[in-house]
Amino acid sequence: MKDLLKILDLSKEEILEILNLADQMKYESKNGIAHRVLEGKTLAMIFQKSSTRTRVSFEVGMYQLGGYALFLTHNDLQIGRGEPVEDTSRVLSRYVNGIMTRTFAQEEVESLAKWSCIPVINGLTDFEHPCQILADLMTIREYHSALEGVKIGYIGDGNNVCNSLIAGALKCGMKISVATPKGYEPHADTLAFAKGNPDFVLTTSPEEAAKDADVLYTDVWASMGMEEEAQQRMKAFAGFQVNDEIMNLAHPKAIVQHCLPAHRGEEITAEVFEAHANPIFDEAENRLHAQKAIMAMLMG
């Protein structure tokens, strides 16, 4: 594995290898064991969209691994003025040991990886959010002790997070039911991957997706870059909310996952969010541990 571009690229074994190392690093770091496996190494982080978790967890993670992270925005780099990705990629390959990027087009991340001789990590595109889903799988395993056979009900937009979640869940032998309004289904490539898998259900009924779920997952109705569609989406997504009625259909021990940031009163009620705040913030914490494992494996 040279890069982490999308969950669709990973095998079950590769996913489990990352999760196992992340568990070990989390346990050891809480017991005072340092992992300075990237001493003297540098990560370039390029952001074309806002970020709290991804930016801070990568920067802190790199520091804890003994390395250094550079925070760069598209607009500050020449890439924002049209310098080709293939040139940016070859230049950065001469200075740093890895690139993490958050952008719009998946093709940009794929192209960075193609032209670089260093690992490239997708920190979110419109197509996938692989680092998020590795942290989510880690969290689900912490709460339910296993992944195999665990049922996820995803309610909301068939977006980047949803695409990665479907790929990750099915690769790990989980069941996943996705409820989206008509016209907001997951990406065609994700649906092609899931097609024919008896563990995958796509529906327009949030109730059907929530039924007997061990994990209820939701994300914002309008992702970054879709702000001008927000009004139209508010109407389309009415009813696609994780609330008490939906929770009552799930397994009594169901946990809630949300990649954050959350919009209370839209995709999730404030009551459900606060009642399930522990697994949601464990999920946010696990971004750090999962990404340290990813960086150690790719850049170590």
Q: Does 120 help bind ligand NVA (rule: CB under 6 A)?
A: no
For residue 149 the two structure tokens come to: 């056979």
98-102 vs 175-179, strand pairing mode: unpaired
Return the active site residues: 102, 129, 132, 219, 259, 287
Residue 223 site contact among ligand NVA, ligand CP, none (CB < 5 to 8 Å, cut-off depends on kind) = ligand NVA
Task: Give the angle subtended at the CA of 153 by the CAs of 180 and 106, to the nearest 5°.
Answer: 60
Q: Which is closer to ligand CP, CB of 55 or CB of 211?
A: 55
Q: Does 52 help bind ligand CP (rule: CB under 6 A)?
A: yes
Q: Using the rule CB under 6 A, give the single segment among 157-165, 172-180, 195-203, 264-272 that binds ligand NVA.
A: 157-165
Q: Which of 259, 272, 290, 294 touches ligand NVA (CB under 6 A)?
A: 259
Q: Which of 101, 103, 132, 291 touches ligand CP (CB under 6 A)?
A: 132
Q: How far is the CB of 264 from ligand CP (least distance, A)?
A: 16
73 vs 75: CA distance, rounded Å = 5
Q: Does 219 help bind ligand NVA (rule: CB under 6 A)?
A: yes
Q: Using the rule CB under 6 A, give the single segment among 2-10, 29-37, 49-57, 165-173 that binds ligand CP.
A: 49-57
Q: How far is the CB of 66 from ligand NVA (least distance, A)?
A: 27
Q: Which of residues 250-289 bind ligand CP (CB under 6 A)?
A: 259-260
Burial class (CB in 10 A: 0-12, 13-18, 19+), 189: middle
Sign of the four-CA dihedral 224, 229, 235, 237: negative
CB–CB of 162/193 below 8 Å? no
Strands (E), the chain: 42-47, 68-73, 98-102, 120-122, 151-155, 175-179, 200-203, 215-218, 255-258
For residue 238 the two structure tokens come to: 């009415």
Under the rule (CB under 6 A), what is the footprint of ligand NVA?
A: 124, 159-161, 219-220, 223-224, 259
Under the rule (CB under 6 A), what is the footprint of ligand CP?
A: 51-54, 124, 132, 259-260
